[in-house]
Amino acid sequence: MSVHTEAVEHIGGPTTMTFAKVWIALLVMTGVEVLLAYEQVPTMIMLTALLGLSIIKAALIIAYFMHLKFERLSLFLTLFPMLIFCVILMLIFLGDAVRIPAMRPPA
């Protein structure tokens, strides 16, 4: 591996137009979310749709606004798999939350 490969790579960075497009996409997705709430879609469908849209929005912000798409892959691999794993681990408590209403003594 030569020293030259360590040079900072800033080739093909995003343009102002790209940022504007991402901003418009984020606004449209927010509009869809508000529309879903206004139409009172069934809870589980709504939750799935809102979470899906939120994750897409977060990915767009991280990739373009936070510039991660244009950083080294090693930075992404150092930071995100661990974060996603820890967040998924938190799901372990939700089973208890579902059981609690049935376990309450009658009032």
Per CB under 8 A, residues contacting other proteins are: 1, 6, 8-9, 16, 19-20, 23, 26-27, 30, 33-34, 36-38, 40, 43, 46-47, 50-51, 53-54, 57-58, 61-62, 64-67, 71-72, 74-75, 78-80, 82-83, 86-87, 90-91, 93-94, 96-98, 100-101
| Radius of gyration, CA atoms only, the chain | 20
Residue closer to other proteins (CB basis): 83 or 106: 83
Residue closer to other proteins (CB basis): 6 or 105: 6
> Cβ(18)–Cβ(64) under 8 Å?
yes
15, 40, 54 from 11: Cα distances, Å: 12, 46, 29
> Cβ(10)–Cβ(70) under 8 Å?
yes
